[in-house]
C-alpha cells in the first residue's frame, strides 16, 4: 500500500471515529468542546503555514479572527444576508485584511514583525470596543444568523459534524499544498531567504501568501464562533486569543498534523482550567516557554520520533525509480554570442568601494574566472550581477535585456544561477528536496492546482529530473538523506546540483573549491568542464590558481574593486600588474617588473 493510500485510510478512520462521538452524547458542554476543537484547528492550520513553515511569528491574529466574526455578524444581523454567503465573505474579508497587513508588516523580521502584528491586534480590539455605533462594544451584536440546512438551523451535533467536514477538507488541501512546490518554497523562505531567491522564489510574495492563508482560516474560525453563538462582542477579541492560536501551532509542532494535536490538547486543557482564569493564563505562558525552548519540534515531532523508533513501517521512505534517462539541459546559448555585458558598475559602502567602475563581458560557452586578492571585491561583483546587491550606478545586460536592479528571483528566472561562498543549503530538508527547489520555476503547478491535488504528474516529473541531476553529479544514493547531515564536500556538490536545476545559461560559482581536499578539487575541475560542455557558461571566483588555470578560457583580475587585467590564463598569469596585486610588488617600478619577467615569476 502506498503512503498516500495509507494516509487516506487513516484519515477516513479518524474522521469516522470523530463523527461517531456526537452520537454517543447529548451533553451540550461536551458537544461545545468538540466544536471548539474543530474551530481552533481551523484557525491553527492556516497559522501553521505562516509560523511552522514560513517561520514568521504573529501575535495579532485575534484581529483577523475579529474581522471574520464581525463580517458575518454585520452582514447577517444588520443587512440580512443569507448565512452561507456571509460565511464565505468572512473568509474573503479576512484574506483582504491579511494582504493589507502583510504588505507593510513583512518588510520587517523577527521581533519587529511580532510588534507590528501585536499593534494590529490591539487596534482591532480598541475599534470593536470603542466604536459602539457599528460594533456595539461589550454589548455586542445579537441576532447573528447561524448556518442552516433546508431552513433548519444547525443543532449542536450538526455544528460538530460541519466543523469536522470543514477541518478534513482543510487538512487535505493544506497537505496537498505543503507537500508540493509551495510547501518547499515556504520552508526555503524559512531556512535561507537569499538561497530561496537564487532559485527563483520570491521571498516576499510567499511570505504574503502564507499570511493570507493564515488570515483566511482565522477569519473562518471567527465566523463559525459568531454564527454558532448567534452573538459576538468585544470580549471575544483579546490578546490572549492571539497567544492561544500561536501556542496551538508551537505546541503542536512543525507538521500538517501539529495544529490538530495542539488544538485537541490545548482546547481540552483550556476547558478544564476555564474556572480558574489565573491558572489558565499562567499555564499558557508556561506552555509557550516549554514549546519554544524544551520541545522545539512540538508534539508532532515527539510522535514522529517515537514512530521512527518503535514503528518505522508507519513512516516508509519514498520509493524512487531505479532507472532514469540521462539529464539534459532544457536550453542553451550559442557559443559565439555575448551573454552578459556590464558597464561602469560601481558600489560603495561609505568610504569602502568594493566595485569601482567595472566593465565586464561574458561570452557564452566559455569558463570565465574572476580572481584577485582577498578584499578585491569579487563576491560583491557576483552579488551585483545576481541582484542581491543593487549597484549605485552602472548597467547590466543579460542576453540583450537590461536586468539592472531586478530582484534576485527575477534574475534567477531569467537564467542566471549561482552558488555561494558560504554554503546556503536548506539544511533541514532532504537532498532530493533541495534539488527540487532548484526546479521550482520549472514546475507548472499553480496555487489552486496544488490545493486541489492536480500537481501529481508535475511533482513526479520534478522528482525524476532532480534524481537525474543528482545522478549526473554522483549523488543519487544520497537523495533521501538530510542535506545538513552530509560531509562538507558533498554539501558543496549538492549546492551545485541545486544551481544546475534552475537550468541556468550563466552559472556563477563563488569559491566552489573552498574547504575541499586536493582530490575533491580535481573532481570539481572535471565537473566544471562537463558543465561547460552542456552549454552552460560559467563565471568562477576561485583562489585555487591550479583550478583556475585548468578550466578557464578567460580570466578577469580585480584589485581594490577595479579591473586591472583580463585575457587568456597564461597571459594574465604573467601580467606584472597581477603579480604586483598578489605579491605586493610596486608595479610602478620598471626594474622590479623586468626582474619578475626575467625570473619567470607568475601567479601561483
Task: List pLDDT tens digits, range 231-255.
Answer: 999 888 888 899 899 989 988 888 8
Tell me the CATH class for 338-598.
alpha beta
Is residue 431 within 8 Å of 162, Cβ to Cβ?
Answer: no
The whole-number pLDDT of residue 336 equals: 54
pLDDT at 589 over 80: no
How many CB atoms sit inside 10 A of residue 355's CB? Answer: 25
Per-residue cell: 504: 541556468
CA–CA distance, 368 with 558 (Å, rounded to integer): 13
Residues above pLDDT 70, as percent of the chain:
94
pTM more than 0.85 = yes
pLDDT at 596 over 60: no
If you average pLDDT over residues 345-351, what whole number do you get?
A: 92
Question: Is the pLDDT higher at 32 or at 312?
Answer: 32
Is residue 62 within 8 Å of 242, Cβ to Cβ?
Answer: yes
The whole-number pLDDT of residue 419 equals: 95
pLDDT at 600 over 50: no
The whole-number pLDDT of residue 254 equals: 83
Domain ranges, ordered by start, for the chain: 28-314, 338-598
In this structure, of 323-332, 409-418, 528-537, 582-591, the range with the lowest mean pLDDT score is: 582-591
CA 90 distance to own-chain centroid: 28
pLDDT at 598 over 50: no
pLDDT at 273 over 90: no
The β-bridge relationship of strands 367-371 and 537-541 is parallel
CA–CA distance, 588 with 413 (Å, rounded to integer): 45
How many CB atoms sit inside 10 A of residue 478's CB? Answer: 21
What b/e sequence results for 22-44 when a residue is b if at least 16 CB atoms lie within 10 Å of its CB, and e otherwise?
Answer: beeeeeeebbebbbbbbbbbbbb
The whole-number pLDDT of residue 330 equals: 78
If you average pLDDT over residues 473-486, what whole number do you get?
A: 94
At 54-104, the pLDDT tens digits run 998 888 899 999 999 999 999 999 999 999 999 999 999 999 999 988 888
Give the C-alpha distances (Å, rounded to integers) separating 459 from 384, 444, 477, 481, 482: 33, 9, 20, 19, 19
pLDDT at 190 over 50: yes
Contacts 24+ apart (CB under 8 A), 226-229: 226/68, 226/69, 226/70, 226/72, 226/73, 226/144, 227/72, 227/76, 227/83, 227/87, 227/144, 227/145, 227/146, 227/147, 228/35, 228/146, 228/154, 228/159, 229/144
Question: pLDDT class for 593, splitting at 50, 70, 90?
Answer: very low
The whole-number pLDDT of residue 53 equals: 94
The whole-number pLDDT of residue 599 equals: 41
pLDDT at 592 over 60: no
Question: pLDDT class for 1, splitting at 50, 70, 90?
Answer: low
Is residue 254 within 8 Å of 51, Cβ to Cβ?
Answer: no
Amino acid at each position: 500500500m502506498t503512503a498516500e493510500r495509507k494516509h487516506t485510510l487513516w484519515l477516513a478512520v479518524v474522521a469516522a471515529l470523530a463523527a461517531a462521538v456526537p452520537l454517543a452524547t447529548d451533553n451540550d458542554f461536551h458537544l461545545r468542546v468538540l466544536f471548539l476543537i474543530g474551530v481552533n484547528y481551523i484557525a491553527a492550520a492556516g497559522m501553521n503555514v505562516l509560523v511552522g513553515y514560513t517561520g514568521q511569528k504573529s501575535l495579532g491574529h485575534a484581529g483577523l479572527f475579529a474581522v471574520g466574526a464581525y463580517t458575518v455578524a454585520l452582514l447577517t444581523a444588520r443587512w440580512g444576508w443569507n448565512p452561507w454567503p456571509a460565511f464565505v465573505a468572512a473568509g474573503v474579508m479576512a484574506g483582504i485584511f491579511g494582504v493589507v497587513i502583510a504588505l507593510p508588516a513583512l518588510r520587517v523580521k523577527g521581533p519587529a514583525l511580532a510588534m507590528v502584528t501585536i499593534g494590529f491586534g490591539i487596534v482591532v480590539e480598541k475599534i470593536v470596543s470603542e466604536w459602539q455605533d457599528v460594533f456595539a462594544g461589550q454589548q455586542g451584536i445579537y441576532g447573528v444568523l447561524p448556518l442552516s440546512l433546508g431552513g433548519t438551523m444547525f443543532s449542536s451535533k450538526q455544528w460538530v459534524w460541519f466543523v469536522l467536514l470543514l477541518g478534513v477538507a482543510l487538512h487535505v488541501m493544506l497537505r496537498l499544498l505543503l507537500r508540493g512546490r509551495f510547501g518547499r518554497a515556504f520552508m526555503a523562505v524559512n531556512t535561507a531567504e537569499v538561497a530561496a531567491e537564487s532559485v527563483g522564489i520570491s521571498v516576499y510574495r510567499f511570505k504574503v501568501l502564507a499570511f493570507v492563508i493564515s488570515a483566511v482560516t482565522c477569519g473562518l474560525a471567527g465566523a463559525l464562533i459568531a454564527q454558532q453563538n448567534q452573538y459576538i462582542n468585544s470580549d471575544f477579541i483579546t490578546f490572549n486569543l492571539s497567544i492561544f492560536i500561536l501556542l496551538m501551532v508551537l505546541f503542536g509542532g512543525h507538521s500538517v498534523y501539529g495544529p490538530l494535536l495542539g488544538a485537541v490538547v490545548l482546547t481540552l486543557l483550556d476547558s478544564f482550567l476555564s474556572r480558574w482564569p489565573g491558572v489558565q493564563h499562567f499555564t499558557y505562558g508556561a506552555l509557550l516557554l516549554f514549546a519554544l525552548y524544551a520541545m522545539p519540534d512540538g508534539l508532532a515531532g515527539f510522535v514522529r520520533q517515537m514512530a521512527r523508533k518503535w514503528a518505522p513501517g508507519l513512516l516508509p521512505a519514498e520509493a524512487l525509480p531505479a532507472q532514469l534517462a540521462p539529464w539534459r539541459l532544457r536550453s542553451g546559448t550559442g557559443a559565439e554570442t555575448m551573454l552578459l555585458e556590464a558597464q561602469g558598475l560601481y558600489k560603495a559602502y561609505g568610504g569602502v568601494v568594493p566595485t569601482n567602475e567595472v566593465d565586464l563581458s561574458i561570452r557564452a560557452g566559455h569558463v570565465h574566472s574572476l580572481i584577485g586578492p582577498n578584499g578585491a571585491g569579487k563576491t560583491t561583483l557576483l552579488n551585483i550581477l545576481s541582484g542581491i546587491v543593487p549597484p549605485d550606478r552602472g548597467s547590466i545586460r543579460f542576453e540583450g535585456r537590461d536586468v539592472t536592479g531586478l530582484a534576485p528571483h527575477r534574475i534567477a528566472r531569467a537564467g542566471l544561477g549561482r552558488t555561494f561562498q558560504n554554503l546556503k543549503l536548506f539544511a533541514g530538508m532532504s537532498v532530493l528536496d533541495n534539488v527540487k527547489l532548484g526546479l521550482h520555476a520549472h514546475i507548472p503547478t499553480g496555487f489552486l492546482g496544488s490545493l486541489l491535488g492536480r500537481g501529481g504528474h508535475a511533482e513526479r516529473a520534478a522528482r525524476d529530473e532532480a534524481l537525474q541531476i543528482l545522478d549526473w553529479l554522483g549523488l543519487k544514493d544520497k537523495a533521501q538523506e538530510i542535506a545538513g547531515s552530509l560531509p562538507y564536500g558533498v554539501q558543496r556538490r549538492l549546492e551545485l546540483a541545486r544551481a544546475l536545476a534552475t537550468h541556468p545559461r550563466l552559472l556563477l560559482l563563488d569559491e566552489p573549491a573552498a574547504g575541499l581536499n586536493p582530490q575533491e578539487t580535481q573532481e570539481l575541475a572535471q565537473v566544471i568542464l562537463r558543465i561547460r560542455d552542456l552549454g552552460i557558461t560559467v563565471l568562477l571566483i576561485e583562489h585555487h590558481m591550479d583550478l583556475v588555470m585548468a578550466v578557464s578560457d578567460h580570466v578577469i583580475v580585480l584589485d581594490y574593486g577595479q579591473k586591472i587585467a583580463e585575457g587568456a590564463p597564461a597571459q594574465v598569469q604573467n601580467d606584472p600588474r597581477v603579480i604586483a596585486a598578489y605579491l605586493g610588488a610596486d608595479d610602478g617600478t620598471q626594474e622590479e617588473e623586468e626582474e619578475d619577467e626575467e625570473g619567470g615569476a607568475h601567479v601561483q
